[in-house]
């Protein structure tokens, strides 16, 4: 973002892909925008102007006009339209307009060949929805709706105060919504507020690690700056700061201290003498879930004299049954750790779980119930299965291990867990020994494996498995993902070389090498032919949310996942090779090992600049079910590397480098 309309003007800041800005003026190839209450200039060819709120149609002025796959003549022609035809206008970038055909296909047309007119096309009607579903409003002016539960992916729409979304479900700190135009997508829970059309008195809060629902008493800060502390006293650590006029939601009281939820969503304590007191509420209640990898806590408060913990009416559920009938009803979606959702109806809070829980009653008395959740390992076994040594850990509660490896010693640590059994005997082929140590911090499993072997972790409800594999590629299942394709060509070089084509050429060569070495290969796309999913693939609804979701889902039964890409940069002098992994998935430790091996072998094979191995939150990495790496082979925006990537011999070397990296990872 610059101070004026040209590259010679000073850089004032940056914005990332998917960020919404307000367009104030277009001047040649530059656009004046407003962002966070300030004005800047930005290159018009780097922005996409949303035309949908204006309800415009593009009327064709020329006799016959091409509709293209992307905004440029280098993109393929999808179809043609004739003079006078009317198409819904969706967006504008540079001198190109994105339009929608009558069959719903989205394509691009040159702006000089059409004129824009006010449209009369009504909004698509909403499908039938339960009227009790909550409405989702942005905290600020607007919030981007993403195709998947990850920022800076594909933006599908946005919500505003006048155009809220309908609540569909919750997944951790993200909320799945249906927009007024009928599109489904995800918004960060911390950037929206939920309003029930049935009961506007109930407040909902969704964020990473904290979920709340309640009819709260409130308190207003009267001092200029007040510390929010971890406990009821000045000896506790400061965890947040609130200021004069901030409204706090009150959970309870201890002496002169109030247990509150701050405007930022922090649960803590403030001194009551720094507030205007507590405003009363009719029949208040609250349910709060606080979460970390080591454990979760559910706190229920209300004006009840007594409560009991009972088995729930459905599988994997319990009831917190109180002595009073509440005036309100509500459902708090969670979709994380062991929790699915919590419902309030009549006198009961029903907690529904994704997997069988393990909990203890920390507090059960008038007006307050506290349940602490942590995993326990109910059984640890080992067996030989399909030519592999498999460690099987059965659990109650949510168990997510921290993984370390030192040579041939592998360590799994499950924080907050307990185990009272004895270690099983190791199968002895690839898994040589198993030792289990319990402490107040959690359970540590220390294993010795056969030199040169690898392992992959798999998780299902109340079960964690570690598959120890033989060395070498024979029999390994590998998903190869040629990045982009479908309707997305990826980066485009200065000569028109498309990333999707380069990625596919390298992937096909890699597939041939892997199959010759005895591996089983699944391609997420092929050249002109439909691809066959892995056997026994049973996709969930979320895995149909988009092309990237489907690709990541195919890794469910794989031993490794490799996504092949080419890079791009505004500076044509930038070049080199890089490999990425994510720290979020279960197999993140092995993903780093895989990425290191591929980067080392690929840069050696190509003789390219080594840009290193980096952590990134790319969708296919974050949602992979096995060790995963994303490779950026070279820069299409660098003339030298673009020319090299048209050479079949260089493509052969790229495939060979990735192949050797996989050989190294699997112990050749």
Determine the pLDDT at residue 377: 95
419 and 503 housed in the same domain = no
What would the pLDDT profile of 41-62 be if each residue is shown by its tens digit? 998 878 888 777 667 888 999 8
Q: Containing H/E element for 598? A: helix 588-606
Q: What is the mean pLDDT of residues 266-278?
A: 90
107 in a domain, yes or no? yes
Residue 402 belongs to domain with CATH number: 2.60.40.3500
632 in a domain, yes or no? yes
Determine the pLDDT at residue 614: 95
Burial (CB count within 10 angstroms: exposed 0-12, middle 13-18, buried 19+), residue 469: buried
Determine the pLDDT at residue 127: 42
Q: What is the mean pLDDT of residues 300-328?
A: 91
Statement: residue 31 has pLDDT above 80: yes
Token pair of 66, please? Answer: 């091409």
23 in a domain, yes or no? no
Find, among 366, 390, 208, the residue nearest to 300 by Cα: 366
Among residues 469, 501, 535, which one ends one of the domains?
A: 469
Determine the pLDDT at residue 539: 58
Total Cβ atoms within 10 A of residue 542: 16
Query: Collapsing DSSP states into helix, strand and coil, what is residue 136?
Result: strand
Q: What is the mean pLDDT of residues 335-345?
A: 92
How high does pLDDT run on average in the chain?
Answer: 88
59 and 194 housed in the same domain = no
Structural domain that includes position 160: 135-198
Residue 625 belongs to domain with CATH number: 3.40.630.40
Q: Containing H/E element for 117? A: strand 114-118
498 and 616 housed in the same domain = yes
Q: Containing H/E element for 318? A: strand 317-322
304 in a domain, yes or no? no
567 and 612 housed in the same domain = yes
61 and 143 housed in the same domain = no
Least confident of 125-129, 418-422, 451-455, 575-579: 125-129
Among residues 469, 490, 522, which one ends one of the domains?
A: 469
Q: What is the mean pLDDT of residues 258-269?
A: 85
Distance of CA 116 to the CA centre of its chain: 37
482 and 400 housed in the same domain = no
Statement: residue 653 has pLDDT above 90: yes
Backbone angles phi, psi at 368, to 5 degrees: -160, 130
388 and 435 housed in the same domain = yes
346 in a domain, yes or no? no
What would the pLDDT profile of 115-174 be if each residue is shown by its tens digit? 888 765 444 444 443 545 789 999 888 899 988 787 766 788 899 988 899 999 999 999
Based on the structure, what is the number of domains in the chain?
4
Determine the pLDDT at residue 549: 67
Q: Containing H/E element for 619? A: helix 619-622
- 467 and 390 Cβ atoms separated by less than 8 Å: yes
650 and 520 housed in the same domain = yes
Among residues 434, 469, 504, which one ends one of the domains?
A: 469
649 and 558 housed in the same domain = yes
178 in a domain, yes or no? yes
Most confident of 91-95, 438-442, 657-661: 657-661
| Global pTM value | 0.70
349 in a domain, yes or no? no
611 and 546 housed in the same domain = yes
Task: Write the DSSP string, 236-252.
Answer: SPEEEEEETT-EEEEEE
What would the pLDDT profile of 341-397 be if each residue is shown by its tens digit? 999 988 999 999 999 999 999 999 999 999 999 999 999 999 999 899 999 999 999
605 in a domain, yes or no? yes
Residue 100 belongs to domain with CATH number: 2.30.30.40
431 and 553 housed in the same domain = no
Determine the pLDDT at residue 488: 74
570 and 424 housed in the same domain = no
């Amino acid at each position: 973002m610059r101070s004026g309309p040209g590259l010679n003007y000073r850089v004032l800041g940056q914005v990332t892909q998917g960020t919404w800005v307000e367009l104030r003026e277009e001047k040649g190839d530059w656009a004046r925008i407003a962002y966070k209450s300030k004005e800047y200039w930005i290159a018009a060819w780097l922005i996409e102007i949303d035309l949908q709120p204006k309800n415009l149609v593009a009327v064709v002025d020329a006799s016959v006009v091409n509709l293209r796959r992307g905004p440029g003549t280098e993109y393929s022609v999808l179809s043609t339209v004739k003079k006078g035809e009317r198409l819904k206008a969706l967006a504008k970038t540079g001198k190109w307009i994105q339009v929608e055909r009558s069959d719903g296909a989205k394509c691009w047309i040159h702006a000089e060949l059409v004129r824009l007119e006010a449209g009369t096309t009504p909004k698509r009607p909403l499908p039938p929805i339960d009227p009790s579903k909550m409405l989702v409003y942005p905290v600020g002016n607007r919030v981007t709706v993403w195709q998947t539960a990850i920022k800076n992916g594909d933006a599908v729409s946005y919500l505003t105060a006048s155009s809220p979304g309908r609540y569909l479900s919750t997944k951790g700190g993200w909320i799945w919504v249906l927009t007024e135009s009928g599109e489904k997508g995800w918004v960060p829970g911390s950037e929206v507020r939920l309003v029930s059309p049935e009961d506007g008195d109930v407040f909902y809060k969704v964020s990473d690690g904290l979920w709340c629902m309640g009819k709260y008493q409130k308190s207003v800060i009267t001092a200029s700056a007040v510390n929010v502390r971890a406990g009821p006293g000045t000896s506790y650590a400061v965890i947040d700061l609130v200021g004069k006029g901030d409204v706090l939601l009150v959970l309870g009281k201890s002496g002169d201290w109030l247990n509150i939820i701050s405007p930022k969503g922090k649960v803590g304590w403030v001194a009551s003498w720094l507030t205007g007191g507590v405003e009363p509420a009719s029949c208040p209640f609250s349910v709060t879930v606080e979460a970390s990898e080591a454990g979760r806590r559910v706190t229920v408060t209300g004006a009840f004299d007594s409560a009991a913990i009972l088995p729930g009416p459905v599988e994997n559920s319990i009831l917190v049954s109180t002595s009073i009938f509440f005036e309100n009803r509500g459902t708090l979606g969670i979709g994380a750790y062991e929790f699915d959702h919590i419902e309030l109806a009549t006198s009961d809070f029903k907690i529904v779980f994704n997997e069988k829980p393990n909990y203890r009653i920390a507090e059960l008395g008038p007006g307050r119930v506290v349940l602490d959740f942590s995993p326990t390992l109910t059984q640890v076994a080992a067996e030989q299965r399909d030519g592999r040594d498999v460690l099987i850990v059965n659990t109650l509660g949510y168990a997510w291990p921290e993984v370390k490896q030192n040579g041939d010693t592998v360590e799994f640590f499950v924080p907050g867990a307990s185990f009272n059994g004895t270690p099983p005997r190791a199968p002895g082929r690839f898994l040589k020994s198993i030792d289990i140590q319990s402490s107040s911090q959690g359970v540590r499993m220390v294993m010795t494996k056969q030199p040169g072997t690898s392992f992959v972790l798999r998780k299902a409800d109340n079960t964690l498995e570690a598959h120890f594999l033989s060395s070498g590629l024979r029999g390994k299942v590998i998903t190869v993902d040629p990045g982009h394709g479908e309707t997305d060509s990826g980066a485009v070089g200065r000569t028109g070389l498309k990333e999707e084509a380069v990625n596919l050429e390298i992937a096909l060569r890699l597939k041939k090498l892997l199959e010759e070495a005895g591996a089983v290969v699944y391609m997420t796309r092929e050249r002109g032919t439909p691809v066959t999913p892995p056997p026994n693939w049973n996709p969930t609804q979320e895995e149909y949310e988009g092309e990237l979701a489907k690709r990541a889902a195919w890794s469910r039964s794989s031993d490794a996942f490799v996504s092949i890409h080419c890079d791009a940069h505004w500076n044509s002098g930038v070049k080199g090779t890089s490999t990425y992994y994510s720290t979020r998935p279960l197999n993140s430790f092995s993903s780093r090992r895989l990425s290191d091996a591929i980067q080392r072998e690929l840069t050696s094979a190509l003789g390219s600049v080594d840009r290193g191995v980096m952590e990134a939150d790319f969708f296919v990495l974050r949602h992979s079910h096995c060790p995963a790496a994303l490779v950026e082979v070279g820069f299409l925006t660098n003339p030298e590397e673009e020319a090299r990537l048209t050479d079949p011999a260089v493509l052969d070397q790229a495939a060979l480098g990735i192949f050797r990296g996989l050989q190294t990872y699997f112990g050749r």
